[in-house]
Amino acid sequence: METRHPFRFWPLLLAFVLAVAFLPTSRIHGEDPGTVLRTGNYYFSLAPNAGNSPDYNATGIIPASTGKLLDGSTTTYAGWMGNGSLPGTVQVVIDLLKDYPLDRINVVMNSPNTYWGFKEIVVKYRPEANTDYYYLAGKHVRIGTALNYAVNFPLHDAVARFIVIDMKRSHAYQHIPLSEVQIYRGVGEEGQNPGPALTLSELQNEMKKDGLMADRYGQWIYDDWPGKVTTDAQLQQEYTSEAAALDDVELDTDVYDPYGGIKAMERQAASGYFRLQQIDGIWWFITPDGYPFILKGVDTTSIWEWGYGTPLKKADGTPRRVFEELPDPVTYADAYSDDANGERVSFVTANIMKKYGSDYEAKWEDITKKRLIDWGFNAFSKWSKPNTVTFPYIMVLQDPPNLTRIDWTYDVFDPQAESIIEASLQPQLQAAASDPWLIGYTYDNEAGWSSDIVAKVLALGADSPAKGKFVDLFAQRHDQNLAEANQILGTNAASFEALKAVPITLSKVPAADVSAYIQLASRTFYSTVTTIIDRYDTNHLFLGSSIVPTWRTSLDWDAASMEFVDAFSVDNYTKDPNWMARYQQFGKPLLNLEYTFSATQHGLSAVNAATSVPTVADRGLSYKAFTESQLRNPLFVGSGWFSYYDQAVTGRKDGENFNIGLLNQQDQPYTDMIAIMKTTNAGLEVVHGDASNPTLPEEPLDIIVDNRDSGFAASAGWVTSAYSASRFGEDYVHSNKLSNKQATWTPYVTIPGEYNVYMLWNASADRAASARLEIGYDGGIDTTKTVNQKTNGNQWVFIGTYPFEAGTDQYVKITSNSTTEYTIADAVKFSLASEDPVGATHSPVSSSGSEDPEVGLDETDDSAVPSGSYLLNGRSNEGVKLQVTLNGATQTTPYSTRYVNVFQVPLNLTEGSNAINVVATSRSGRTSTLSLSLIASD
């Protein structure tokens, strides 16, 4: 570069600067405003295992000039395919090489199919001079299911050299796409004399830096909203106002007994403790005074709850730079903790100290009890509770930490387990045995056994009691036939005793043996706990283990527990009350002890997509719909809202920062939500009094997806064939002896619940001996199954039972893994388990296809219904496609391209007569037509 003396050209430079001052600000220095910057370098925290080169498999720094992330194309991408073991969050850091004013950052994440996507993305930035922490451009939670997705983060001319993007998966098997990062230059000066480009280790260090999040009250600093706390005086005035409003609140003894039992119902026998009883076929708790009661509880109601705190330090021990200002550690020493859950600060506690002043805990407890009574809640349902508030409650008995662990659970067959558990539980049980306010106990939490635990056990050695018990049971079930056992398991053990030291592959174990082993483990677990409880407390109920129906458990585990528990409890974050269909057959009282609904606002996140709603009022409306729907089932006896407060916007130790509270961390009630909850709670006993057993389909519900259906998709290379007559439909496809070819069947599910999954193929000696399956279900993905297509030809081969939600999020995928054998992809059947008469491998029912399909609708001609949005329900005796017209106009429905047995057609009915025509077409081409007139009125 030419060197110039600074003084020689000073007059000319001055003229240029002065001239610029009077020019429009379309261009100040360097790139034009609005230009997409394609400069600098970037680095991924995890090498992409999908996408385009040079980003694909890149482990080092990638120049923006050659990489795909800033190349201007949204068809190239970097991708991270989930496999259950990779990190849940992937990061990319971008070094623009100097400061730029930025107008916005647009992140493009286009998915090739529904297995790709993300849960949440966060974009952070910092200028070169700000070395300690980042600012947040924004946080976005994915909405909807669109494959092509882009999120715009405005920066309003903020200056940045470094950008970090955090991308979080919804679950461990989700694939994350990153197509393009479009960085738009804003208005302002570019950086002068920048430092050198960061090295690899320096870029890695950038990913560890925090983003500033919270103000001195623990509130999100990037938004303002009505009621946001700005002074201590505001908090104190809010206390004064609320205390005055609640001054006269107390339990209405004309309506309720002291424990919350409903006096309007007939009094039952009073035992002095809570118990369970069926009244006219409906389960109820009965209070110590003998009145019916349903649990309307709130979880984690203590201000000392560890989960309301937020860590002060990072994993490496350095301070987190996420706080604008922390509470004074001397004045607010009670807000600071350092224990097994880490060193943390609780803005909940600090704000309560500021709000209530001297004797703050007693004042807070008084107003908390009045709040809960006023809002219609009647119990502390789980986890921590206030120290001196008298209210019905459930006690969680935790499994001792010194048990022999197996992943998330422990070895229930360990002969030392019972004595260890008893030593831990005995003092708790003895202390609570005579407390009439205690409803009952749960033990452990969200930790059943599934095939994943069995796989862990099978890999253990002879010193494992669990492994020994599996071999003993397997030997017993196979008549002590060692040769048969070795053949089935692919082992060569000299004895059953020697087999205990041999690693066993789960896929080799017959499903019936896995089921029997899980059931034995469950009976051992629950009988042990029940025995210990009964030794020290015969007054209180055992309410199970707060199982998550679709995670870390199995129906085998759950079913075997039923004889040992008084009620079966779950934690289920869903809007769908049909989770109870899984347990209807057992007749046990049911509880849902953790659920919530969230709005992603003020920096907080939602627990999951299923419980995310747009507004605070929608949280209340979802509460009303869900609690009432659950209580319409005669087995359901109550629930616990999680939780009393939101989590910290800066996250608890595991990163959770969910909008789940009845109140925010500034002790402000969500009034729009609470108003709806209050009205709802007042009528829940009436709702439950009208409960009836759910109506199940009159005929088996089988959803069949064939290789010719719209729910079927296959990668390139599959060959269509009709060579074998053993097939479903007109033909099937095969892999043509190519490896790693995938085919996927996606059902359209109308009725959520447990489904038995079957697969059909034509068998031959040249078929795949062990084709891999992947089953996506509500709550996870099962990758443990394989199929042997050399046998069981033209059979519906039973694969397993899985929970499915309504819609198209579930699937079965087969992958070929041989270059010497054919893998067949023909048809998959999904049968509602509660109505499946088979539940095992079976032959297809032959049909000539000569009869028209039988289709029925719930409504009859000239039925009177409300105007507006309406669902027309119906079903068929076989899979049909539907063409629906309303008043002559063709309706768009998902059933025009998919075969279904049960359907719900959305219709927008106008006042007066509405003419509906339904044409149902079977696979054989036969049709049935139904005409219906509905009279709609406002």
| 3-class state of residue 284 by DSSP | strand
- Residue 424: how many CA atoms within 13 Å on its side-chain side? 17
Rg (CA), the chain: 31
Q: What is the pLDDT of residue 730?
A: 81
DSSP codes of every residue in 50-103: EE-TTTTT--S-EETTTSSTTSS-SSS-EEE---SSS-SEEEEEEEEEEEEEEE
Q: What is the pLDDT of residue 301?
A: 98
Q: What is the pLDDT of residue 23?
A: 31
Tokens 């992958």 belong to 815
3-state SS string over 104-120? EEEEECCCCCCCECCCE
Q: What is the pLDDT of residue 907?
A: 76
Q: Strand locations in 518-635, DSSP E?
A: 541-542, 568-571, 590-595
Residues 334, 758: Cα–Cα separation, whole Å: 58
Task: Extract the tokens encoding 642.
Answer: 């999680």
Whether the bond into 643 is cis, omega within 30 of 0:
yes
Residues 408, 652: Cα–Cα separation, whole Å: 20
DSSP state of 427: H
φ, ψ (nearest 5 deg) of residue 369? -65, -40
Task: Extract the tokens encoding 707.
Answer: 């290789």
- Tell me if 280 sits within 8 A of 292, measured CB to CB: no
Element of type H or E holding 155: strand 150-168
- The residues of the chain scoring below 50 in pLDDT are 1-29, 847-849
Q: What is the pLDDT of residue 39?
A: 96
φ, ψ (nearest 5 deg) of residue 829? -115, 135
Q: What is the pLDDT of residue 137?
A: 96
Burial 298-318 (b: 16+ CB within 10 A, else e): bbbbbbbbbbbbbbbeeeeee
What lies within 8 Å, CB to CB, of 24 at 6+ separation is: none
What end-to-end distance do the CA atoms of the chain give, in Å? 80
pTM: 0.78
> Which residues are 757's β-sheet partners?
800, 830
DSSP state of 479: T
Task: Extract the tokens encoding 574.
Answer: 């869903």
DSSP codes of every residue in 761-791: ----TTB-SSEEEEEEETTEEE---EE-TTS
DSSP codes of every residue in 372-397: HHHHT--EEEES---SS----EEEEE
Q: Beta strand 180-185 with 135-141: parallel, antiparallel or unpaired?
A: unpaired
Residues 787, 209: Cα–Cα separation, whole Å: 47
Cα separation values, 787 from 678, 784, 838, 869, Å: 53, 10, 19, 45
